Chains A and B, each alone.
Chain A
């Protein structure tokens, strides 16, 4: 008898669990759409088959398998799920500027490479990004100089653990400074990073010597910050340097050369100035579409003319990089509206197909997961978006979003964005209604 209320609760949980998470083994066939595989040219009237979380087949001559749930997407477009390769999806929003509001939460340690973005991601917030067709996100601790390590998430599922594509995904160095504490200057930041890498290398040697001959030796002290660098030093984990200025790109390269680590550069609004260098060095790029980020307060009068020039340069940066023949990812870099930024880059001359690549396959390449996602190819993860029109165009909406082969349907009607901590949107109309 006592078990009955619990049983009732369990049943209730089943009933209210977000709709559309496919039971394992579910097969979808998206039929008749204009398909952008990204790894190849667009295919008219093609079929995409998704089975058990993976893409099974893509092509014009693909027959929907027996038992598949066939969805007619005639007149619609199909692309890989979008990837935000550098941003804050799922992290608590930064405090709004100005007075009032809640007291600030205690600031995270700005020099903590061991900090994990995964520990701070809010599942419900992260999943909201699917409404825009984003299926994969690199989530980065935003503030500080060595703010920690990012996580690469697939934005579907009911548990954070199940969403992880790579953890930790990368260790981050922001070419930023701290207020009233070291490093308070750019040269201090470079010096801090250099010393940290020397210390990490010695920490490695210290433990190696101890592990080789423990008896008769005192054990070294455990240091979480130095431990955090080890995979980077060993060349296994990516170091992503946030390079706001032209020369930050050079600084990042110099640091990577000195310590022989794998490097990618993020933000990079002035990267086009050093396009030749980036090409020669084959430097992976995560280029920001956050063209007008909040500026740090300056002493004296702000230089409005300079700021305007910087914004215009940043907006042209993607198209200039493309003209220089570079492959790069476009990333939100904490922009409030990622896709609006991508559209701005297109307005400033970036071809739409290059833009689509820059938010799908290119970030997957930079982050080392192009073998499993980023394009519509058999065997890749079932991250697929069905759009109402031309991908990335202003009025185009994501109508169906598959993440790991599970269907999610964004609401048709826009509604006020829920306050932080509010429950996820209620289930949306079923796919059948679209036919």
Chain B
């Protein structure tokens, strides 16, 4: 190697990567109706004070410091940023790693596309965070990425730092390839029984893997600092995740439809001693709501979208309300870049069909999905100390004529209808 190449190497390894974040200013959103979704309830003619990207004060008697940027929200509604618990937005080079039955080693965070214009479009729908999931092609898919809609930053800047990691599971027709047969190819499993076997086999392998590493740790300790170091077991990035699921360090977001498969997964998780964090789609969740609640899982469903395949027929628009009434943490998700722009109307449907209170319905697209993603201490409601992820609506978010006027993430305005010139959509995110 030449000295030049060596120099290039050492510099390349040492230099930090730049972090292009904009400074956040002190902002006072004044005069609006604040739907905090938190302990402060609804505040008429209130002020939200934002400092250093966090919510510094909320109320009717908040002093606005000199020099603060004042956003007049008179006649408008101020709500916590909407959180989409099931999204496939901003992914480059494929949503599914479909070729293997278990692909827990693949990471959505590796392939985020910060130029996807849907980030901007979702900001225009008040969305500030999303659970970007691997597809449902295999029983155990890849690792999800919880992102914030920081439009115009780099791919790693999208990642919601501190959000717990998770892995996508899938049950039923998609992993058994009922509706996606490619001529000349077969892939195990082809039945729901097979899906269960794949899961059970995988966690048995994970248990063996865990034991192998524990044995190694014991040997390492016994050898002491001066003894002969034992050879470490092979690090398997797939089994790493499954072991971490067993240890409760990694969430499971399980795509499912039918009541029987939901119960199957609860039993299997109980057998192996781990928890399902969310059941996704879960259209027959209303049939097994108590069991879901008892397991402690959340449920993320559609408001009124079904019938698009056999396993999605026995569905009702009361699903969200019924599950919530049994004590399940329920969210309403998009699974779709278009639906993601109007999740507030999906929430409104829970009021219409299930008689859910407006606040509880709004929680289904804010605080509840925040809990499902393990970030409810940070976002999901307008409370002092939380991240300043906020959407300002022209009218109540359930008003059929409402629209989003402004969206902030970390106290930075990423969408402002008054300043939208259509460029972002035209350029589809290519320009900086």
Interface on A for B, CB 8 Å cutoff? 177-178, 180-191, 194-195, 198-199, 202, 205-206, 209, 235-236, 238, 245-247, 250-251, 253-254, 256-257, 260, 262-263, 273, 276-277, 280-284, 306, 309, 365, 368-371
Contacts and interface: CB of A to CB of B under 8 A. Distances in A.
30 contacts: A177-B93, A178-B99, A180-B182, A180-B185, A182-B97, A184-B97, A185-B96, A185-B98, A185-B106, A187-B110, A188-B103, A188-B106, A191-B97, A191-B105, A194-B237, A195-B237, A247-B111, A250-B155, A251-B110, A262-B12, A273-B432, A280-B15, A281-B11, A281-B15, A283-B12, A309-B430, A365-B4, A368-B4, A368-B5, A369-B2
A235 B9 contact: yes
Interface string B13-53: 10111100000000000000000000000000000000000
Contacts of A209: 231
Contacts of B237: 191, 194-195, 198
Chain A CB within 10 Å — which of B2, B236, B432 has the most?
B2
A283 B185 CA distance: 42
A187 B113 contact: no
A284 to B, nearest CB: 6
Closest 9 CB pairs of A and B: A186-B93, A185-B94, A188-B97, A368-B5, A182-B99, A187-B106, A184-B99, A190-B110, A191-B106
B92 interface: yes
B155 to A, nearest CB: 6
What does DSSP make chain A's interface, helix, strand, loop or mixed? helix
Given A187-B108, A191-B110, A247-B113, A257 B99 contact: no
A359 B239 CA distance: 46
What does DSSP make chain B's interface, helix, strand, loop or mixed? loop
Contacts of B94: 177, 184-188
A262 B97 CA distance: 28
Contacts of A254: 110
B8 interface: yes
Given A185-B96, A368-B4, A370-B2, A257 B13 contact: yes
Contacts of A284: 8
A42 B2 CA distance: 26
A236 B6 CA distance: 9
Given A188-B97, A188-B106, A368-B2, A199 B18 contact: no
A310 to B, nearest CB: 10
B142 interface: yes
Contact of B97 (A185, A199, A370): A185
Nearest to B5: A368
A206 B231 contact: yes
Contact of B18 (A247, A280, A283, A309): A280
Contacts of A194: 105, 237
B199 to A, nearest CB: 20
Nearest to A194: B237
Contact of B17 (A177, A180, A253, A306): A253
B2 A202 contact: no
B2 to A, nearest CB: 5
Contacts of A183: 97, 99, 106
A282 B8 contact: yes
A198 B110 contact: no
